[in-house]
Structure 1
Amino acid sequence: MNADEAAELLGHCSGFDNRQPSIVAAKSWASALYDVPLDNDTKAAVAAYYTTPPQNPNERLWILPHHVRTLRAKLRDARLENFQYEPPAGELDPNYLARLRGQRHAIASGRIPAPTRAPMLEGGPSKEFMRELEARGWQGNRTVPDEDVSAGSLADTVRRAGPLGVECPACSAALGRPCHSGLATAKHPLGKPLAKPHTARIRVAAGEPPPDMARQAAEEDRIREASRLALERIKAEQAERKAAEAQLEDDAQEVSGE
Structure 2
Amino acid sequence: MNRSEAALLLGHCAAFDNRTVGEADATAWASALHDVPYDNDARTAVARFYGTPPKDPHQRLWIQPHNVRTLRSKLRSARLENFQYEPLPDESVGEFMARYRGQVQAIASGRAPAPVGRLALEADPKRDREFVKELTARGWEGNRTVADSDEEAEADSIRRAGPLGVECPACHAAIGRPCKSPGASEKRPLGKPRPKPHSARLRAAQGVPEQTAEQRAVEEQAIRARAAQHFARDDGRIHDAVIVEDQP
Question: 1:150–1:29: structure 2 CA closer, same or farther, 3 Å change rule?
Answer: closer
The answer for the alignment partner of 1:32 in structure 2 is: 32
Aligned residue number for residue 46 of structure 1: 46
Q: Does 1:142 align with 2:126?
A: no
For the pair 1:82 / 2:82, whether they are aligned, the reply is: yes
Number of positions where the alignment pairs a residue of Structure 1 with one of Structure 2: 152
Find out whether 1:159 has 2:183 as its counterpart: no
Tell me the residue number matched to 2:226.
none
The 3 A distance-change label for structure 1 pair 155 and 13 is: closer
What is the correspondence of 1:98-247 to structure 2 with a 5 Å cutoff?
98-122=98-122, 142=136, 144=141, 151=148, 154-155=152-153, 157-159=155-157
* Structure 1 residue runs without a partner (length 5+): 162-207, 210-258
What secondary structure, in the 3-state scheme, does the structure 2 residue paired with 1:61 have?
Answer: coil
Identity, in percent, stands at 51
* AA at the equivalent of 1:39: D
- Contact kept? 1:87, 1:93, Cα under 8 Å: no
Alpha-carbon distance change, 124 to 38 in structure 1, aligned in 2, over 3 angstroms:
same
Structure-2 change in CA distance of 1:126 and 1:31 (3 Å): same
Q: Secondary structure at the match of 1:142?
A: helix
Match of 1:20 in 2: 20
Q: CA RMSD in A?
A: 3.4
In the TM superposition, residue 142 of structure 1 has moved relative to its aligned partner by 2.4
CA deviation after TM superposition for structure 1 residue 19, in Å: 0.5
For 1:66, the equivalent position in structure 2 comes to 66
CA deviation digits over 1:194-216, x for unaligned, max 9?
A: xxxxxxxxxxxxxx98xxxxxxx
Flag the 1:126–1:142 CA change in 2: closer, same or farther, 3 A.
closer
CA distance in 2, matches of 1:35, 1:22: 21
Per the alignment, residue 176 of structure 2 pairs with: none
Q: CA distance change for structure 1 residues 68 and 160 in 2, over 3 Å: closer, same or farther?
A: farther
1:56 aligns with 2:56: yes
Q: Which residue of 2 aligns with 1:204?
A: none
The Cα shift of 1:32 comes to 0.5
Distance 2:158 2:46 in 1: 46
* Inter-CA distance 11–159: structure 2 relative to 1 (3 Å threshold): same
1:156–1:32 distance in 2 versus 1, CA, 3 Å: closer
Displacement, 1:75?
Answer: 0.4
TM-score by length of structure 1 reads 0.51
